[in-house]
Structure 1
Amino acid sequence: MIALAVALAACFAVAALGATVTTPEIPTWYAGLQKPSWTPPRIAFPIVWPILYFLMAIAVWRFWEAMPSRARTAALLLFVVQLALNAIWSQVFFGLHSIAGGLVVILLLDLVLAATIVVGSRVDRIAAGLLLPYIAWTIFATALNGRIWMIN
C-alpha cells in the first residue's frame, strides 16, 4: 500500500504543480489567445485531468508491483520521463507563454507515453490499458496546442 500512496502522491503532485502555473493564466493570457471552435469548455479540464492522474497512478503502481524484469524497469523509467514532460508542458506553455515550446514538449510527451504503453504492455496489460485514455487526451491536446500555435 505504500507504493500505491507514493504513486498517487507523485501523480497528484505533478497535477498540483501544473495547476499552480496554469490556473492564473487561464482567465488572462490563455483567454486572449485565438482558439479553434473544437476547444473543450473550461469545465472539461478539471474533470478530465484528475481522472487521468488517478489512472496514471494506478498504472505505475501496477508496473511497480510486477515481477522485476528489464521491461518493468524500462516501463517505470519511461513513466517517470513522461510524468516529467507532463509537468514541463504546463511550465512552458502557460508559464513561459511559449506555444511553440509547448508543442515540442507535448510531442515528446506523446512519444514517450506511447513507448511507456508499448513497453508496459509486456509488464502488465491492464496497467498499459489504463494509460490509453491519457494518450488519447494528450494526442487531442497536441492537436489543440498545434492549432493554437498556427492561429496565433
Structure 2
Amino acid sequence: MKLRTTIGTTLAAAASVLALGASPALAAAPAAHAATAATARPAATVHVSFAGGYKTVNGVRYYHFKHYVPGSNTTGQPTLVGWVSPNKTGENIKTYWQVWYHGAWVNVGQPAVATFKLHQNSTFDIFFHGLKAGYTARVGIAYQGDSKNSAAKFTWQYYHVTK
C-alpha cells in the first residue's frame, strides 16, 4: 500500500493568512542542499515532477491546477511525485513550500520546512492545497545525504493555481 502525504491540512491556514495580507518571512533555498566538492561520496539524486499539465515560460516549467476544495477529491490538487536514487526507503526528505506574494517568494507554513519519510522503493507523493486561484507557488525537495551519498542537488518545481 502506498502512503500519501498531505501538506495542505497543516499549511492551508498559512495560505489563508497570505490572502489576508500578512507578511511571512522570506526564505531562499538553503545552501546546505548543494553537494560539497570536499566529499568523495557520490551525490544522491532527487527525481521530481508534478502530475499534470504544464507550460514553459522563460525556461521555467509551470504546472497549472484548478483551485482545490478540501473534502472533495484529489482531482486538480497539485501532487508532487518522485523518488530518490539510490534507494533511500525510510530516510527523510525535506520539503520547502513558497508562494509568490507582493513581488517576493515567502514561506508557507510554520515551520517553513516539512520533513517526510520516503515510501517503499524510495518514492514520495505529496499533495498541496489551500492556495486560492491566482497564486503561483514553488516547492523544493531536499535529500540531506547520509554516510554513503552526499546531499542531492536542490531545485524548485513551480505551479500556478487557476479558477
Q: TM-score, normalised by structure 1?
A: 0.29
Could you say which structure has the higher helix fraction?
Answer: 1
- What TM-score do the two structures reach when normalised by structure 2? 0.27
The answer to which structure has the higher strand fraction is 2
